[in-house]
């Protein structure tokens, strides 16, 4: 019903497509994942489809004229592999660009999983366990944004520490955790400064960083061209 009321704003001609698109999905009716496509320049909705299945997307984009698909230039997306298959099948001249937000999200999730894993190796009453658990959100922030001057008392680990001291002592409980944290922070900084040389170097990191973080880097490496665009 909602889609019907706003569908008049979507592109209904199969002779035209914006030069730049963005693909993603969202949870809708009955918590099902639906496909959404935006104009990359003005962020207006181009189309919303009831499903995100590859067959559905190929059928929809296949309706556009060869000229409309040939004029299409870039598509921004996450690392969903079948989105890339769809672009290659339907848009011969399009360049795939991986959204930085999704990459940082993958890195933070990988690090957070490792933090929990390391935390569970300590006794629940220990200082190390409490440092890694009670203020876990601090580990996901940029280190430059952490409080470094005014310590605050925390009853979990019964000490006065600044936010930076909490994170520093927490990651020092494991070499793998420390390496993964430093890698995540370096990635965020490289993204913000557009340093593609540094990004390539980080993707090929040989440090001990944990299984899930290693798999994340392998995913980036397999999509290296799109990642560095």
Residue 193 CB coordination number (10 Å): 10
* Proportion of the chain above pLDDT 90, given as a percent: 57
Would you state the pLDDT for residue 36? Answer: 92
pLDDT tens, residue by residue, 71-98:
889 999 888 888 988 998 999 889 988 8
Residue 26 host element (H or E): strand 20-27
**163 in Cβ contact with 146 (< 8 Å):** yes
Would you state the pLDDT for residue 7? Answer: 57
What's the average model confidence in pLDDT over 150-159? 92
What sign does the dihedral 195-201-204-208 (CA atoms) show? negative
What are the angstrom distances between the C-alpha of 44 and each of 9, 11, 24?
A: 9, 10, 13
The overall average pLDDT reported for the chain is 89
pLDDT tens, residue by residue, 91-100:
988 998 888 8
Token digits for 205?
């990191």
4 or 117, which is more confident? 117
What's the average model confidence in pLDDT over 196-217? 90
pTM: predicted TM-score of the whole model, two decimal places: 0.79
pLDDT at 182 over 80: yes
The CA-to-CA distance between both ends of the chain, in Å, stands at 38
């Amino acid at each position: 019903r909602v889609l019907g009321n706003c569908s008049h704003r979507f592109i209904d001609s199969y002779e035209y497509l914006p030069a730049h698109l963005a693909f993603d999905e969202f949870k809708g009716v009955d918590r099902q994942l639906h496909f959404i496509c935006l104009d990359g320049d003005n962020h207006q909705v181009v189309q919303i489809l009831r499903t995100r299945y590859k067959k559905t997307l190929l059928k929809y984009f296949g309706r556009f004229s060869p000229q409309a698909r040939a004029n299409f230039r870039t598509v921004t997306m996450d690392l969903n592999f079948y989105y890339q298959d769809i672009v290659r099948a339907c848009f011969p001249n399009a360049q795939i660009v991986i959204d930085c937000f999704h990459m940082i999200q993958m890195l933070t999730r990988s690090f957070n999983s490792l933090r929990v894993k390391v935390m569970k190796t300590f006794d629940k009453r220990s200082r190390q366990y409490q440092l890694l658990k009670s203020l876990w959100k601090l580990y996901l922030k940029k280190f430059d944004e952490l409080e470094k001057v005014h310590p605050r008392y925390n009853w979990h680990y019964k000490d006065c520490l600044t936010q930076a001291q909490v994170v520093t002592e927490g990651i020092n409980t494991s070499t793998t955790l420390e390496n993964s944290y430093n890698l995540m922070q370096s990635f965020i900084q490289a993204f913000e400064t557009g340093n593609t040389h540094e990004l390539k170097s980080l993707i090929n990191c040989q440090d001990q960083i944990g299984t899930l973080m290693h798999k994340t880097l392998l995913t980036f490496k397999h999509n290296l061209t799109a990642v560095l665009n």
